[in-house]
Amino acid sequence: MSLESQAHVLTQQVVEFVRAHEAWAAPIVGALAFGESLAFISLVLPAWAVLVALGTLIGKSGIDFWPIWIAGAVGAALGDWLSYWVGIKLGPAVAHVWPLSKNPELIPRGERFVAKWGPLAIFIGRFSGPLRATVPLVAGVFLMPYWRFQTANFVSAFVWVAMLLTLGDVVATIFTLIWP
């Protein structure tokens, strides 16, 4: 089974679980957003698709948006914060850790991106898969000031999760209008 097929099956299983056990929606979204935002893990965990799919349940099933949104945003912000902290602790030696060791261009490219955009790089990076995995790490390696990082981190996390969940809700609404 291909990686794409496995991701699709996992997405379906998570959505079906949440449909049957709505109380688990917020913790699951928080954990998935954490993993999706955590350096290294986010490269193998395509959680954004699950977040969009779970967004389709919000309008249809009556699951409350607010707890899911907050849990997802906090999970995403904590994932970025942990990546930032790892960057601070490991410094430039992080380039020798897999998968960065297999992609030596990521750290210099991330450094240029963070140097050019500053805290806005955290916000922009949140919306791009490869950047989401490396920008917070690079911000830590190159010692972006803590409060600049955290402000961009939390603001971008709340916007990112709202966008993914809303996208799912809009897609579900469109399908309902087309196929009543």
Pairwise CA distance, residues 27 & 40, whole Å:
21
Q: Lowest-pLDDT range, 36-40, 105-109, 130-134, 138-142?
A: 130-134
pTM: 0.88
Q: Identify which has the larger pLDDT, 49 or 31.
A: 31
- Residue 140 scores a pLDDT above 80: yes
Pairwise CA distance, residues 35 & 133, whole Å:
10
131 and 165 in contact (C-beta within 8 Å)? no
- Residue 49 scores a pLDDT above 70: yes
63 and 57 in contact (C-beta within 8 Å)? yes
- pLDDT score for 83: 93
- pLDDT score for 77: 97
Residue 118's φ and ψ, nearest 5 degrees, are 60, -140
- pLDDT score for 12: 81
Q: What is the pLDDT of residues 63-87, one digit of tens each?
A: 888 999 999 999 999 999 999 999 9
- pLDDT score for 146: 96
Token digits of residue 118: 């500053």
Q: What angle do CA 130, 136, 138 make, to 5 degrees?
A: 90
Cβ count within 10 A of residue 34: 24
Segment 23-41 mean pLDDT: 89
Which of the 8 DSSP states describes residue 128?
S
Q: Write out the H or E segment, with its range, that includes residue 159.
A: helix 146-178
For the chain, what is the mean pLDDT?
Answer: 86
Cis omega (within 30 of 0) for bond into 145:
no
Segment 7-15 mean pLDDT: 77
